[in-house]
Amino acid sequence: FPSHDICITLRDEVFAKAEELLLHTTDDELFTSMIDLQTAVEADIEERGATLARLRLIQLPESLPAVVLSYHLYGTVDYADDIVKRNGVDNPLFVPGGKDIEVLVYA
């Protein structure tokens, strides 16, 4: 998964579908299987999700080039393209200040 937040969103979608099935089944074996699936998904997400980045919103006081922002946030310019794509920045030389910017935060 690219981020913890996406991981949790997908988990919630799987659980919602499982709950739909659970509400409408009279089959004990299917019911037990769906509960087992939910338990396995939750355990897997807890294990893998612990090391995933979280999505956070930040606001820059002024516009910055994406490479500068990447270096300030992560100590490397390697995330500049991710910042640009994630935020739909038209020009990578001007990540806009004064508005919310979505970035990855590593715990």
Distance CA 83, CA 62 (A): 16
H helix or E strand, kind and range, residue 45: helix 28-49
Distance CA 30, CA 36 (A): 10
pLDDT for res 92: 96
- Specify the length of the chain in residues: 107
Indicate whether 34 pLDDT > 90.
Answer: no
Indicate whether 89 pLDDT > 70.
Answer: yes
